[in-house]
Amino acid sequence: MKTLLEVTGLAKDFDGTQVLKGVHLTVYEGEMVAIMGRSGSGKSTLLYGISGMDKPTSGSVSLFDREITSLDDDQMSELRLRHMGFVFQHAYLLHKLSVMDNIVLPGFKAGALSRDDVNQRGKALMEKTGISSVAAHDPGKVSGGQLQRAAICRALINDPDILFADEPTGALNSRATQEIMDIFNRINREGTTVVLVTHDAKVAARADRIIFLVDGLIQDELALGKHEADEQAQAAREKKIFEWLEHQGF
Ligand SMILES: Nc1ncnc2c1ncn2[C@@H]1O[C@H](COP(=O)(O)OP(=O)(O)OP(=O)(O)O)[C@@H](O)[C@H]1O
């Protein structure tokens, strides 16, 4: 497997407190990795550090062999726009624009495709995620699940190599959670690498591998293999995770 992201000795201090203490992590192309751990263990800090959203105190992060921690702000923005997608717990869509306009905006900004091609891609993504019917709606007038689908479409508009997600289902009910995770699994099968933070074992059960963070260090990891759309297999994965989490004292 080809390495996509190589994280070496990643440390992050806030006000003299070491939150990340030298994390080593390799993410391979095509993987889906879930980061779990107790509240305050540093999951979001790790996600922001490995995605270049935040500068680490020390350590290195390379994406396709390109060291990203030393890039200046403009270079980092460019890299994020073209190669990375981000999904957060809340969709943060702009309310003066329609759902569709929110989705295509980063595509226009990147400028790699014509406006027509970006619009086509936006429409195809909405079709794929089942939100075509709300394309012209104001983001304030659609459901939480539809908003999160729109946020995923926006994150995918520039066909990123890697998608980072911080508690992407944290604000959703269990049905919308499963639907969003179906979308994540589909995107991943189609080739996008995914790294997500979650508290939810059912969400983590969709990943190929789970890493468990304790006080800013990876304590353990669990390899699950590719997710299959089979209820029994999903239940077996969840059971395995619950037992593993218990073993971690979670
Ligand atoms: N910008 C910041 N300034 C100061 N301290 C911060 C900052 N961001 C995070 N921290 C601290 O770093 C620690 C880890 O935070 P982080 O958000 O990474 O944890 P987490 O594991 O994602 O937690 P949760 O599950 O509650 O979201 C916490 O003690 C938090 O208060």
Q: Please state the domain count of the chain.
A: 1
Residue closest by Cα to atom 5 of ligand 1: 14
What pLDDT, on the 0 to 100 scale, is given for residue 229?
Answer: 82
Q: Residue 67: CA atoms inside 13 Å, Cβ hemisphere, count?
A: 8
**Quick check: CB of 193 below 6 Å from ligand 1?**
no
Burial (CB count within 10 angstroms: exposed 0-12, middle 13-18, buried 19+), residue 116? exposed
Mutation test residue for ligand 1: of 18, 45, 214, the one with most atoms within 8 Å of CB: 45
Range of the domain at 103: 3-247
User: pLDDT band at 228, cuts 50/70/90?
Assistant: confident
Average pLDDT, whole number, for the chain? Answer: 94
pLDDT for 125 equals 93
Looking at residue 153, what is its pLDDT?
Answer: 94
Q: Tally helices (H) and strands (E) across the chain.
A: 8, 10
Nearest CA to ligand 1 atom 6: 14
Q: What is the pLDDT of residues 46-88, one digit of tens each?
A: 999 999 999 999 999 999 889 999 999 999 999 999 999 999 9
ipTM score = 0.97
Structure pTM? 0.94
Residue 232: which CATH number? 3.40.50.300
pLDDT band at 24 (very low <50, low <70, confident <90, very high): very high
Average pLDDT over residues 27-39: 97
Enter the tokens of residue 19. 């939150």
Q: Give the number of the atom of ligand 1 that is nearest the alpha carbon of residue 46.
A: 18
Instruction: Give, to the nearest 10 degrees, the angle between helix 99-110 and helix 73-83.
Output: 120
| pLDDT confidence tier of residue 230, bands split at 50, 70 and 90 | confident
Over residues 191-223, the pLDDT tens digits come to: 999 999 999 999 999 999 999 999 999 999 999
Closest-CA residue, ligand 1 atom 31, reads: 40
Summarised one tens digit per residue, pLDDT across range 143-161 is 999 999 999 999 999 999 9
For ligand 1, atom 3, the nearest C-alpha belongs to 14
Structure confidence at residue 250 (pLDDT): 82
By DSSP bridging, strand 162-166 and strand 58-63 are unpaired
148 lines ligand 1 (CB under 6 A): no
pLDDT of 160: 94
| 74, two tokens | 């403009």
Distance CA 154, CA 166 (A): 15
Give the closest residue (by CA) to ligand 1 atom 13: 40
CA of 178 to the centre of ligand 1 (A): 27
